[in-house]
Amino acid sequence: MLTAPSHAPHPIRARKLVNHRSRRLLRAEQGSIAWIGAGFAFALIAPAMVVSPMDMQASAPAAITAASLTLVGVCAALTAGWIAFQRSQVYGWLISTWLPAFGLVAGAAVLAATKMY
C-alpha cells in the first residue's frame, strides 16, 4: 500500500516545465548578427586575398597587412557585439564575439609569424 493518496500526482510530473519555444528575432538582433558575421567573415577572407594560405612564405609587409585586416574585421565584430550588449544587456552578445575574436587574433599572429620566417 502507498502512503500517499492515490489522486496525488507524481512529484516529477507535478512540476510545470517551461516550454522553450523559439521566437522570432527582433530586427535589431538580426542586424547585430549580420554585422558580427560580416566582421568575422571579413577577418577570415580578406587576409587570404593578400597572402594565400597555401604559400609557405610571404613578405613581411604582406603578412603584416593580412594580420592588420584580420584585426580590422575583429574590431568591427567586437564593436557590433558591444552595441548589441549595450542595447539588450544580454551577456551572450559579448561571449559570442569575444571568444571567436581571441581565436582569430591568435591565429593571425601565428600565421603572420610563420609566413614571415
CB 76 within 8 A of CB 104: no
pLDDT of residue 27: 85
pLDDT of residue 17: 53
**What digits encode the pLDDT tens for the residues 37-74?**
999 999 999 999 999 888 889 888 999 999 999 999 99
Examine the pLDDT at 7 and tell me if it is beyond 90.
no
pLDDT of residue 117: 78
CB 25 within 8 A of CB 88: no
pLDDT of residue 29: 87
**What digits encode the pLDDT tens for the residues 10-32?**
555 555 555 556 667 788 889 99
Q: SS in 3 state form for 40-78?
A: HHHHHHHHHHHCCCCCCCCCHHHHHHHHHHHHHHHHHHH
pLDDT of residue 37: 96
Per residue in 57-83, is it b (16+ CB within 10 Å) or e — as a string?
ebeeebbbbbbebbbebbebbbebbeb
pLDDT of residue 116: 81
The number of angstroms, rounded, from the C-alpha of 81 to the middle of its chain's C-alpha atoms is: 9
